Amino acid sequence: MADCNFGDGVPMSDLLNRVGRIPDNVSLPELTLRGIILGALITVVFTASNVYLGLKVGLTFSSAIPAAVISMAVLRMFKSANILENNMVQTQASAAGTLSSIIFILPGLVMIGYWQGFPYWQTLAICAAGGMLGVMFTIPLRHAMVVQSDLPYPEGVAAAEILRVGSAEVELDAATGKAGAKAETGIVDIMAGGFTAAAVTLFSSGFRVLGEGINLWFAAGPAVVRLSAGFSLALLGAGYLIGIVAGMAMLIGLLIAWGVAVPVLTSMHSIPDGVTLAKYATGLWSKDVRFIGAGTIGVAAVWTLITLFKPMMEGVKTSFQALRGGKGRINIPRTEQDLAPSWIIGITLVLVAILVATFASFLSAAPLSAGMVWGLVAYSVLFAVIFGFLIAAACGYMAGLIGSSASPISGVGIVAVVLVSLLILLVGSGDGLLATESGNKLGIALAIFTTSAVIAVATISNDNLQDLKTGWLVGATPWRQQVALLIGCVVGAVVIPPVLELLYNAYGFAGAMPRAEMDVTHALSAPQATLMTAIATGIFTHQLNWDMILIGLGLGVVLVTIDEVLRRRGGIARLPVLAVGIGIYLPPTVASTLVLGTLLAWVIERVLKKRAQKAGVPYEQFAEAPNRRGVLLASGLIVGESLVGVLLAAIIGFTGNDSPLALVGASFENTAQWLGLIVFAAVAWVFSRRVLTARQQ
């Protein structure tokens, strides 16, 4: 790729190095057809991966940085490609990947039996309308919370730095005949992680030659203790990305669940005849101990919202002020041009109309009068829009403060499902709607569907301001970036329903198996959806497991107190309460693998710090290349395993066989466990070696 001149004849590499962003007087192609197509293709990959990972473990990964690297690697083949076009691709793919977080609640509709699958148009509409409303609600916040604010936006700044450095190096390397070295290296790292995880997943979940985890059960008198480890490379990669602080908090949660709660509960009762040790202990954890985690998660969510209440209210105030502004677009610099107010209002009204039609369709089969249906539609849409607007400002602020990945979106979902359940309960009690079992089921379903719209708004709002921060730092045109965000929401909404349908029919969800003969051990746990559905069901049926929830609430208060003491003392030691709750709530084979991933990242960091100290180089400078490689390799592990999981789901669905590719029988299970452990350890070792040698490339 030849070195190109822009604006005043300055090469783009020099321009980036000199000013750090493309200035207002320079106009470059941004929202191009090839960029939209590339963004859509990346969207399909990362959305499918995030849906699978979210249903399996309750976590999603940020697709912004991997999307930026892939975009730079592909678009460098075109001479006219530039940093702003790469930014648009990254923006579009990031929005679509984020929208997949709607799986934190939507599967609840099949768990309660209201849906038998995922109706395509209803699922698409709730995803697209909710996500696009999230875009609309954050546009008025951009100037105050991105341009003028001193919020750090850690992920947005990181993505901008990768775009800047990558684009500058492409231009500089072109002069020496080595075009695109950094982007090419980045795509190689993603592909290396992806192919490795894909191969291991094929031999474990597909051929069944490698075990997917190992479980050891011990009976200490009447108490039962379990030691577990999973061999999922996607979870290893996810753990690597979330860091040691969250990992240790999850480990504490895991120890509370399986080192304290389960042994205590099993010691209080004798094991029934004909029930295995594993089945008995797992049953107690599922119906009792998990609600301790739910209570802890609830406390963490409420405390987070309390601590952020003042800045959240400032964000909401800023949003209302921006809507009243009516500032014209004449003579506004290119990097300050948002979508026109007329477009914002018009699109918002269309999206509200789509929500009305979607909720009406959702309730069309219910045995209700037309007046009651439209009354429920009005309540639900008003709640989704008003609460969604308020939460958009809150989530935008949280993203700017602690980053999108660390924001407690599941906590926002818990608050939303409680509020909307209470609202429907209040409305339904007055007209007899909830007097029957079918009425209760309808109320639960409507609460879940309404919360789905709120979570779509919240997740996109949480992500969008990060993307707009990236665009501001590199000199993008805001209105073009906002269009890219809308396109990303639509593409993601198109992909999510068929992937959900495919995974449900192939694996099933915890407590919701489409076929009686399916293997429940391979069901996707869908932890957040299970939790929020249980909360909504408990509110409507007045049968919440209050004893365990109250224990969790008390534990959450104690943990919040400890975390506050640690915060006031200063230093890096913290105790993220949400992560502790997740450690209690997640299956042990999942939580333990995430912890192993965080330990791997910690060990690598310690080695890099020692090497940096020995070399007399600042750690941040010394570790820049290894850290970037680690993020890309970890993202590759997640994508590789997730895509093979989706592929196997398609094969299972097509053949109707739960193990269509299995090469061995059940008698090989013990050997497969140890083989799986050996391969898992080998991959972790190779991963660490490749990260630690990044500076030598």
Asked if the model's pLDDT at residue 149 lies above 80, the reply is: no
pTM: predicted TM-score of the whole model, two decimal places: 0.73
Q: Are 141 and 462 in contact (CB under 8 A)?
A: no
User: What's residue 152's pLDDT?
Assistant: 67
Three-state DSSP class for residue 20 = coil
Q: How far apart are CA 53 and CA 60, in angstroms?
A: 6
Q: Specify the pLDDT at position 357.
A: 94
**Mean of pLDDT values over 582-602:** 86
How many Cβ atoms are within 10 Å of 378's Cβ, its own excluded? 12
Q: Is the pLDDT of residue 219 over 60?
A: yes
Contact 523, 509 (CB under 8 A): yes
pLDDT of 16 over the 50 cut? no
Least confident piece of the model among 44-58, 124-138, 650-664: 650-664
| pLDDT for residue 215 is more than 80 | no
The pLDDT of 542-561, averaged and rounded, is 87
Specify the range with the lowest mean pLDDT, choosing from 66-70, 471-475, 610-614: 66-70
Note the pLDDT of residue 175: 41
Neighbours of 611 (CB within 10 A): 16
Nearest-angstrom CA–CA distance, 238 and 590: 11
In sequence order, the β-bridge partners of residue 524 are 509
Within 10 Å of residue 501's Cβ, how many Cβ atoms? Answer: 19
| Backbone region of residue 208 per phi and psi (left: phi > 0; alpha: psi in -120 to 50; beta: other values) | left
* pLDDT of residue 327 exceeding 60: no
Please give the residue that has the higher pLDDT: either 416 or 127.
127
- Give per-residue pLDDT as tens, 424-449: 887 766 555 665 666 678 888 899 99
Beta bridge partners of 219: 224
pLDDT of amino acid 179 = 40
**Closest C-alpha to 635, from 240, 174, 167:** 240
Which residues, listed in sequence order, are joined to residue 229 by a DSSP beta bridge?
Answer: 214
Helix count and strand count (H, E) for the chain: 27, 4
pLDDT band at 328 (very low <50, low <70, confident <90, very high): very low
CA 206 to chain centre: 26
Stated as kind and residue range, the H or E segment containing 323 is helix 309-325
d(CA 658, CA 431) in angstroms, rounded, equals: 46
**Distance between CA atoms of residues 575 and 635, nearest Å:** 26
Q: What is the CA radius of gyration of the chain?
A: 25
3-class secondary-structure state, position 23:
coil
Amino acid at 155: E
Could you report the per-residue pLDDT of 249-276, keeping only the tens digit for each?
889 999 999 888 988 888 887 777 777 7
The pLDDT of residue 125 is: 94
pLDDT score of 253: 92
Q: What is the pLDDT of residue 434?
A: 61
Q: How do residues 626-665 score in pLDDT, each as one tens digit?
A: 888 888 888 788 777 867 776 776 777 667 666 778 888 7
- Distance of alpha carbon 449 from the chain centroid: 19
Q: Give the whole-angstrom CA distance, residue 253 versus residue 559.
A: 11
- State the CB neighbour count (10 A cutoff) for residue 324: 7
Instruction: Supply the pLDDT for residue 324.
Output: 56
Q: What was the pLDDT predicted at 275?
A: 73
What is the model's pLDDT at position 401? 59
Residues, the chain, total? Answer: 697
Q: Give the range with max mean pLDDT: 180-189, 481-490, 501-510, 561-570.
A: 481-490
Would you say residue 682 has pLDDT above 90? yes
Is 504's pLDDT higher than 80?
A: yes
Distance, in Å, from the CA atom of 488 to the CA atom of 294, rounded to the nearest integer, reads 32
At residue 665, the pLDDT reads 79
Task: Please list, residue by residue across 557-583, b when 16 or more beta carbons sit within 10 angstroms of its beta carbon and e when fewer do.
Answer: eebbeebeeeeeeeeeebbbbbbbbbb
Three-state SS at 30: coil
Looking at residue 319, what is its pLDDT?
A: 52
List the end-to-end C-alpha distance of the chain, in Å, as a whole number.
Answer: 22
Residue-level pLDDT at 243: 79
Alpha carbons 512 and 530: distance in angstroms, whole number? 10
When pLDDT is cut at 50, 70 and 90, the band that residue 577 belongs to is confident
Residue 520 is classified by DSSP as G
Buried b (16+ CB within 10 A) or exposed e, 619-658: eeebbebbbbbbbbbbbbbbbbbbbbbbbbbeebbeeeee
User: Per-residue pLDDT for 176 more than 50?
Assistant: no
Task: Tell me: pLDDT of 18 over 50.
Answer: no
pLDDT score of 312: 55
pLDDT for res 41: 87
d(CA 350, CA 125): 12
Q: Looking at residue 167, what is its pLDDT? A: 66
Q: How far is CA 513 from CA 111, 440, 654, 666, in A?
A: 9, 22, 17, 22
pLDDT in tens, 333-362: 777 788 888 888 899 999 999 999 999 999
For residue 544, what are the contacts with CB-CB under 8 A and spacing of at least 6? 291, 534, 535, 538
Q: Is the pLDDT of residue 4 over 90?
A: no
Q: Are 105 and 445 in contact (CB under 8 A)?
A: no
pLDDT band for 472, please (50, 70, 90 cuts).
Answer: confident
Residue 5's DSSP bridge partners are 11
CA 276 to chain centre: 36
Give me the mean pLDDT over the 403-429 stretch.
73
Helices (H), 369-508: 370-402, 409-431, 437-474, 478-507
Provide the pLDDT for residue 168. 58
* DSSP letter for each residue of 90-117: HHHHHHHHHHGGGGGTTTHHHHTTS-SS
- Mean model confidence pLDDT for the chain: 78
Within 10 angstroms of residue 328's Cβ, the number of other Cβ atoms is: 9
* CA distance linking residue 428 with residue 566, whole number of Å: 45
| φ, ψ of residue 79 in degrees (nearest 5) | -65, -30
Helix H or strand E segment including 230 = strand 223-230
What is the distance between the alpha carbons of residues 30 and 329, in angstroms, rounded to a whole number? 19
Predicted confidence band at 549 (pLDDT cuts at 50, 70, 90)?
confident
> Are residues 593 and 147 in contact, defined by beta-carbon separation less than 8 angstroms?
no
Q: Which of 414, 350, 309, 311 is nearest to 136 (CA)?
A: 350
CA dihedral angle for residue 256, residue 259, residue 265, residue 271, rounded to 10 degrees: 150
- Name the residue among 325, 323, 366 with its Cα closest to residue 345: 323
Residues 6+ apart with CB under 8 A from 168: 12, 13, 16, 17
Quick check: 506 and 51 in contact, CB under 8 A? no
